[in-house]
Structure 1
C-alpha cells in the first residue's frame, strides 16, 4: 500500500459524516413521533382532543377556575398572560399543565374531558 492509499480521503470522511448526521436526524424524528404517540395514548388526552369545545363554556370555566391568577382577560396577574399561549404550548402540553399542577403556584385541576376541550377552545381564541 502506498501512503496515499492509507490516508483517509476527504470524500470518504464527508460520506461518513453525512451518514452519521442523517442517522441522528432519523433517530430524533423517531423519538419525537414516539413521544407524541405516547402522549396521545393517554385516554384522558385522547378524549379531550377528540371532543369539540365551546368557546363560551370555556370562557365560563376560565373565569371560575383560572381568572383569579391569570386575570379576567387572561392578561396575567399571579400567573402569566395566556394570550397567544397556543403559539408557545401544544394542546397536549396545555392539558398536562392544567391537570398536573406541576408548575407552582398553579393548582392541580381535573376538569372533565369536555370541560378541558371547552377551555382549550377558549384559550385558542385569546
Structure 2
C-alpha cells in the first residue's frame, strides 16, 4: 500500500512539474510575442506619441462608425465601449491595422492618427 501511495505522489509530482514547465513555456512565448510586437517601428512610434481625443473622435466617425456605430455601441462590428479594458494598446493597434478579423478592413492610419484614435478608444 505504501508503494502505491509513493507512486501516486511521484506521479503527482511529475504532473505538477509538467504543468509548471508548460506554463513557463506559454509565459515565455507570450512575453516574446509582446516584445516582438512593440519592436515594430510603426507600433513604437504610435506608442511614443500623445493622442488628441477630439481628432481621434473625428477619425473614428470617418472610418469606424459605419460598422461600430456613431456612439461606438456596436452595429455590424462589436461595441467598443471599455475596449481598452479588454485589449492592450498594442492589441488595439494590431486589430486596426491587420485586417485579420473580417469584415473589418485593413486600415493603416498615420502614426499620429492611430495615436489619436487610441486616445478616443481608451475613453469609451
**Shared fold, TM over 0.5:** yes
Alpha-carbon distance between aligned partners in 2 of 1:25 and 1:102, rounded to the nearest angstrom: 27
Task: Please report the TM-score for the alignment, with normalisation by the length of structure 2.
Answer: 0.85
**C-alpha deviations, 1:50-71, integer Å up to 9, x for none?**
2111111111111111112222
Shift of 1:40: 1.1
**C-alpha deviations, 1:88-125, integer Å up to 9, x for none?**
22222211121122222222211111110110110010
Hey, what does 1:60 align to over in structure 2? 58
Hey, what does 1:43 align to over in structure 2? 41
The alignment covers a number of residue pairs equal to 124
Q: 1:10 to 1:54 in 2, by over 3 A?
A: same
Hey, what does 1:88 align to over in structure 2? 86
Shift of 1:8: 5.3
Task: Please report the TM-score for the alignment, with normalisation by the length of structure 1.
Answer: 0.84
Shift of 1:78: 2.0
Cα RMSD after superposing both structures: 2.2
